Structure 1
């Protein structure tokens, strides 16, 4: 439920706000990434609003359970979660809404299975916690560990 604010945030950084991937990286970028001991991947950042209606309805316990049941099994190699504060305009009422949020960062291969898993996470969260949307930003990344 952080729609408009997330869109504004996404426009401030070079990213694709969509569940679709940008065109494949050119070979030169792949070689440069390899020279840095990295791999071309996708960085997916998801923004989860925690309000249900006008109150915080997704508790820390609810979030932890969702993470354990829906996210970690799909991305067991690792992820990062930050707390955030979302601001967005409700398109139905025109009201400015502020709500706590969780920001999930995933580094994942550029493949259909990963994209499907991300979409499943978004769909499960919206269904489970009665959310209108989950903000999603995806961008190419050179990842090394």
Structure 2
């Protein structure tokens, strides 16, 4: 009986989450100089983020640090953290936003962190 309970518990733990939380860290320093200004952010949110993520998102202003792969130096810059809850396996819209940010503002990379959501309620 105990073995059956342990097996059921392990099976429940192995069930993949129905949703995930993805956080994109969008650096605002432009490699050629300057910073992505508020107007450019507003335009990007309106024409790219809202279009790809119509179900909703959260945008938080932050300061980030990262190691520049070209120089080896640690760079500190203004950053936006875009948080999105979406069905597991549906990464296309989030990836499209990350790629658009990198291309539009000349970024080396966009950090993406994805976490399983164990309880999602509205």
| TM-score, normalization by structure 2 | 0.81
| 1:14-93 matches, cutoff 5 A | 28=12, 40-53=18-31, 55-93=33-71
Query: Which stretches in structure 2 are left out of the alignment for 5+ residues?
Result: 1-9
* Corresponding residue number in structure 1 for 2:99: 123
Q: CA deviation at 1:40?
A: 2.9
Q: Secondary structure at the match of 1:51?
A: coil
Q: CA deviation at 1:78?
A: 1.2
| TM-score, normalization by structure 1 | 0.69
Q: How many residues matched? A: 111
* Corresponding residue number in structure 1 for 2:120: 143
Q: Which has the larger radius of gyration?
A: 2
Query: Which stretches in structure 1 are left out of the alignment for 5+ residues?
Result: 1-25, 32-38
Q: CA deviation at 1:27?
A: 6.4
